[in-house]
Structure 1
Amino acid sequence: MSADDTHLGESWALSPDSRRPLPELIEQKLREQIIGGTLNAGDRLPTEPELARKLDVARSSLRTALQRLQLQGIVEVRRGLGWFVRRTDLAAVEEHLEGRLAARQFSQSDLLEVRIALETTATSLAAVRAGDGELDELAKLNLRYQRAPVDDVQEVLESDEEFHSALIRASHNELLEQMYQVLVPGLQDCKRHAHPSREVHIRSANEHDQIVWFLRRHDEVGAKSAMTTHLLGLYDDVAADDTTPRATLGTYVGVSDNPIWGKSR
């Protein structure tokens, strides 16, 4: 049974709570439709363009909400087919890793350490696998991020995530990409709580450029190290009050001195 054909008359109006980020409001509405019984396990959701039209939202915000539900194990994406309801039993959801992540049962430091491990590996793979078109797209996405007004939190978050997601895809490792997507909603929460200053925003965009620079030269070590340096900035902010010994550049790339890739090119 397809939700496209069966539930066209349902109300898709979002909550008017302007204090909450738009993806959270979309997530709430989709959860109401799914867990309230309007949609059942195995049902296919409307396509992303149709859902965006129903909810009157941008597809980027919709995709973030769907990823949050994917994190909780409520929906799943099937390549080439679309989004499907995975389960509606919240008790069962909370037993899974996705549910624990959604319930924030892991520290932000834990989350970011796993993110660094996954994304730096993806960056190394992208250095040997990414095509010219993918690299051009990364440069364009970083330009969008660079131009995002610092006071527009949603645009800063979305443009940054588009860049990092595109880099993950450029690794051409489907399992790694799926593992990363499980972390995305939690990562966005970390970023939202550590909203950057204008100086940090500019530095971050410059670091994106540096990563692409190494990728274009197929330099796996330089690209991985540049990405590690980039991600450690957020990690150091988040882990500042954590009593657990912090990870360093050497934890991930095996160096202890100031690396050449951290210097101006």
Structure 2
Amino acid sequence: MPVDDSHPGESWSLSPDSRRPLPELIEQKLREQIIGGTLKAGDRLPTEPELARKLDVARSSLRTALQRLQLQGIVEVRRGLGWYVRRTDLAAVEENLEDRLAARRFSHTDLLEVRIALEATAASLAAVRAGDGELDELAKLNRRYQRAPVDDPQEVIEADEEFHSALVRASHNELLESMYQALVPGLQDCKRHAHTSREVHNRSVNEHDQVVWFLRRHDEVGAKSAMTTHLLGLYNDLAADDAKPRATLDSFVAVSDNPIWNNTR
């Protein structure tokens, strides 16, 4: 069934909100189209180039939003045909893990500890599974992050999120990706604290480069260690006021030359 495009400017314009990442605004707009009946179950969405034009956004941001909706079971991609609305009963969708996580409001340290575990594993898997095209895309996304102006938090956060989401996708583990995307809304506040200075920004660029360097060499342990070290910087900043003992690199990566399970008595 074709999508009603009789009033494209009125129907598809995004709500201005500089405090939220662009993919989140796109996701909200697509949800509104479904709730309002413009898009119905079984409808095919416009092609990605056409939809990006209607929304006046980059295709990379649009794709991130569509993937988030896909993980929630709201839309699906049919190979060779495009994106389709899968379900419109969004009340049931609100019961998913992503929304429960957002409502529970876990502490920043709890969220980041889980994020480190997931992304460290994703980096290790990507070192084995990522293709050259995916690695080139990661390098390209890091260059976008490098060019993002520090005084534009939305652009910085969006560029950083695209890099990390692309790395998780490169793990080729759908369950891991779903779990990671469920954390993303709760991580937004963490990310707003992360990119507050040029020094932190430049450090992140270099750490992203290190991750890609290890990935290109198919070094699983190196990629895992580099990603863990990168995320621990933010973790240590935000965990300063937490009463619990902090996690360290050893909590996520086995760095000992003589692990305890090798000891014999």
TM-score normalised by L of structure 2: 0.80
Q: CA deviation at 1:86?
A: 4.1
Correspondence for 2:162: 162
Correspondence for 2:260: none
Q: CA deviation at 1:223?
A: 1.5
Q: Deviations over 1:33-53 (max 9, x none)?
A: 111233233433323222222
Q: Deviations over 1:187-234 (max 9, x none)?
A: 344313433310001111111121222223322112211110101112
The farther-off stretch of 14-23 and 184-193 is 14-23
Runs (4 or more) in structure 1 with deviation over 6 Å come to: none
CA contact (8 A) 2:98 2:185 kept: no
Cα distance in 2, alignment partners of residues 106 and 85 from structure 1: 31
Relative distance call for 1:18 and 1:139 in structure 2 (3 A) is closer
Matched to 1:144, the amino acid is R
Matched, 1:222 2:219: no
Relative distance call for 1:24 and 1:226 in structure 2 (3 A) is closer
Q: Which runs of 5+ in 2 are unaligned?
A: 258-265
The farther-off stretch of 76-85 and 117-126 is 76-85
Q: Deviations over 1:83-105 (max 9, x none)?
A: 44344344323322132134464
Correspondence for 2:95: 95
Q: CA deviation at 1:118?
A: 1.5
Cα distance in 1, alignment partners of residues 91 and 246 from structure 2: 34
CA contact (8 A) 2:52 2:62 kept: yes
Matched to 1:63, the amino acid is R
Correspondence for 1:75: 74
Cα distance in 2, alignment partners of residues 78 and 22 from structure 1: 21
Q: Sequence identity of aligned pairs in percent?
A: 83
Aligned-partner SS, 2:240: helix
Relative distance call for 1:235 and 1:154 in structure 2 (3 A) is same
Q: CA deviation at 1:171?
A: 2.3
CA contact (8 A) 2:20 2:154 kept: no
Summarize the alignment of residues 1-265 of structure 1 with structure 2, pairs less than 5 Å apart: 2=1, 5-10=2-7, 11-16=11-16, 21-70=21-70, 73=72, 75-78=74-77, 80=79, 81-103=81-103, 105-255=105-255
Matched to 1:228, the amino acid is T
RMSD: 2.9
CA contact (8 A) 2:157 2:192 kept: yes
Cα distance in 2, alignment partners of residues 21 and 119 from structure 1: 20
Cα distance in 2, alignment partners of residues 240 and 232 from structure 1: 12
Relative distance call for 1:175 and 1:25 in structure 2 (3 A) is closer
Cα distance in 2, alignment partners of residues 16 and 126 from structure 1: 36
Cα distance in 2, alignment partners of residues 104 and 206 from structure 1: 34
Q: CA deviation at 1:68?
A: 5.0
CA contact (8 A) 2:75 2:87 kept: no
Q: Deviations over 1:221-253 (max 9, x none)?
A: 122111101011122233333333332211111
Cα distance in 1, alignment partners of residues 13 and 112 from structure 2: 34
Aligned-partner SS, 1:77: strand
Relative distance call for 1:64 and 1:196 in structure 2 (3 A) is farther
